[in-house]
């Protein structure tokens, strides 16, 4: 099956469920088995609805198996707990998703795990950070807010030669546009709350990898910590996956149009988007990704004091966190950093992040234009 067929039909068994094209929702805690030993006992362990979503996601990511979790952070934290122990060392890019870095530095730090942050675009810096106790190189390509890439194939080769496990957050690119496992990465994580769900109404996470790791993760970290996805969330995730290809085509087309529009706008200082030829890693993006999406950042001319006036004048973009849904959103990461952090992390104080929804690109560009001009009037 190609990826579009996997989204619509993969992982399903119509005969098993009376020919229903929409799989049943097994919204149950317990499975009794006095008369039939069907293999199910408790939804925290396994559930038929959740398994359909997991089979689709494993096939999309070209991995052997997948596990669904109650949130993206539940998936990320479970994977890291499974791989690390007291005295372990982790390497990750400085601009990785904020809660992930907090989890590593503060939470895992309480248990003797150390973390080194690096410029993920610099392979030599990653290599120089490796220690004898390094167990994990955690990546996110592109990175949150700043959208730098990491050379996944090169990092995977570097790590594998030293027995280090690699993990990549692939939420931005989705399995349609990037498959890290095919590039040598060991484990892939997603926030299913974003593009995979696509409708802004589910909370979930996914881990994909080899069958042995997934079986151990299901038995230990997911089973013992209990952060399994709810069956209804899995049912909604299956629904979201059915429309993923058509949605991603629209997000990509609109994202590229709006990025080019913003790059040419006189009131925009800089656009951060790997789909633009001006992106310093554009060629790397062409090498390891098959497409780009609708989440990007840009810095306003005139400094951070222009940000909120622009945001307040927007009519179609709503202000809020998260991204990847049908609705267009704007967030203001630059306003949350001080000057020292801005310089160290390369996050301009006037940086805003937008998620391009499924509205007409022309209408969104008109909205951005009037808001930018209104903020300078």
Are residues 86 and 132 located together in one domain of the fold?
yes
Catalytic annotation present for 339: no
Averaged pLDDT score across all residues of the chain: 96
pLDDT in tens, 36-54: 788 899 999 999 999 999 9
Write down which residue in 242, 264, 297 finishes a domain.
242
Sheet strands (E) in 41-186 = 65-69, 89-93, 114-118, 134-140, 165-169
Are residues 206 and 259 located together in one domain of the fold?
no
CA dist 265 and 280 (Å) reads 20
Catalytic annotation present for 138: no
Domain CATH number, residue 283: 3.90.1150.10
**Nearest C-alpha neighbor of 172 from the set 355, 368, 326:** 355
Q: What is the pLDDT of residue 69?
A: 98
Active-site residue (options: 138, 151, 169, 273):
169
Write down which residue in 242, 262, 294 finishes a domain.
242
Q: Can you state the percent helix, strand and coil of the chain, rounding each to 5?
A: 45, 15, 40
CA dist 3 and 6 (Å) reads 5
Handedness of CA 22, 23, 24, 25 (dihedral sign): negative
Beta carbons of 322 and 314 less than 8 angstroms apart: no
Question: Strand pairing partners for 187?
Answer: 167
Beta carbons of 205 and 68 less than 8 angstroms apart: yes
Q: What is the pLDDT of residue 220?
A: 96
Active-site residue (options: 3, 97, 213, 222):
97
Positions in the chain whose pLDDT score sits under 50: none
Q: What is the pLDDT of residue 338?
A: 87
Are residues 258 and 164 located together in one domain of the fold?
no
Q: What is the pLDDT of residue 132?
A: 98
CA dist 45 and 284 (Å) reads 40
Catalytic annotation present for 338: no
Q: What is the extent of the structural domain holding 354?
A: 244-375
Catalytic annotation present for 186: no
Largest Cα–Cα distance of the chain, in whole Å?
74
Q: Name all contacts of 340-348 with Cβ < 8 Å and 24+ positions apart.
A: 344/94, 345/94, 345/95, 345/146, 346/95, 346/146, 347/95, 347/145, 347/146, 348/269, 348/270, 348/299
pTM: 0.95
Q: What is the pLDDT of residue 101?
A: 97
Are residues 80 and 130 located together in one domain of the fold?
yes
CA dist 271 and 261 (Å) reads 10
Are residues 216 and 277 located together in one domain of the fold?
no
Beta carbons of 69 and 44 less than 8 angstroms apart: no
Are residues 249 and 360 located together in one domain of the fold?
yes
The total domain count for the chain is 2
Q: What is the pLDDT of residue 299?
A: 97
Are residues 235 and 271 located together in one domain of the fold?
no
CA dist 310 and 377 (Å) reads 10
Q: What is the pLDDT of residue 280?
A: 96
Active-site residue (options: 44, 55, 270, 345):
44
Active-site residue (options: 194, 222, 247, 349):
194
Could you identify the residue written with the tokens 């200082």? 269
Helix axes 48-60, 231-242, angle to 10 degrees: 40
Write down which residue in 206, 221, 242 finishes a domain.
242
Q: What is the pLDDT of residue 367?
A: 98
Q: Find how far residue 321's CA is from the centre of its chain.
A: 14
């Amino acid at each position: 099956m190609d990826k579009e067929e996997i989204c619509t039909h993969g992982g399903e068994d119509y005969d098993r469920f009376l020919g229903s094209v929409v799989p049943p929702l097994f919204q149950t805690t317990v499975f009794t088995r006095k008369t039939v030993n069907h293999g199910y006992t408790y939804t925290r362990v396994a559930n038929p609805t959740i398994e359909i979503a997991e089979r689709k996601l494993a096939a999309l990511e070209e991995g052997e198996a997948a596990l669904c979790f109650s949130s993206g952070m539940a998936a990320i934290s479970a994977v890291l707990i499974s791989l690390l122990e007291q005295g372990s060392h982790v390497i990750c890019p400085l601009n990785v998703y904020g809660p992930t870095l907090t989890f590593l530095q503060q939470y895992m730090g309480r248990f003797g795990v150390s973390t080194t942050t690096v410029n993920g675009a610099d392979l030599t810096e990653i290599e120089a950070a490796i220690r004898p106790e390094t167990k994990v190189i955690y990546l996110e390509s592109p990175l949150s807010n700043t959208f730098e890439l990491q050379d996944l194939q090169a990092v995977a080769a570097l790590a594998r030669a030293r027995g280090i496990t690699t993990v990549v957050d692939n939420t931005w690119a989705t399995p349609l546009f990037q498959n890290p496992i095919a590039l040598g990465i060991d484990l892939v994580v997603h926030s299913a709350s974003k593009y995979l769900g696509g409708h802004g109404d589910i909370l979930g996470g996914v881990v994909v990898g080899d069958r042995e790791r997934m079986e151990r993760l299901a038995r230990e970290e997911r089973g013992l910590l209990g952060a399994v996805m709810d069956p209804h969330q899995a049912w909604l995730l299956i629904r979201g996956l059915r429309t993923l290809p058509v949605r991603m085509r629209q997000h990509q087309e609109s994202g590229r149009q709006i990025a080019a529009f913003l790059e040419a706008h006189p009131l925009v200082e800089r656009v951060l988007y790997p789909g633009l030829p001006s992106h310093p890693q554009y060629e790397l993006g062409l090498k390891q990704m098959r497409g780009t999406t609708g989440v990007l950042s840009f810095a306003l001319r005139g400094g951070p004091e222009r940000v909120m006036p622009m945001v307040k004048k927007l009519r179609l973009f709503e202000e809020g966190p998260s991204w990847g849904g049908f609705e267009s959103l704007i967030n203001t990461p630059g306003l949350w950093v001080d000057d020292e952090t801005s310089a160290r992390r390369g996050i301009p104080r006037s940086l805003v992040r937008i998620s391009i929804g499924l509205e007409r690109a022309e209408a969104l560009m008109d909205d951005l234009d009037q808001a930018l001009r209104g903020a300078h009037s």
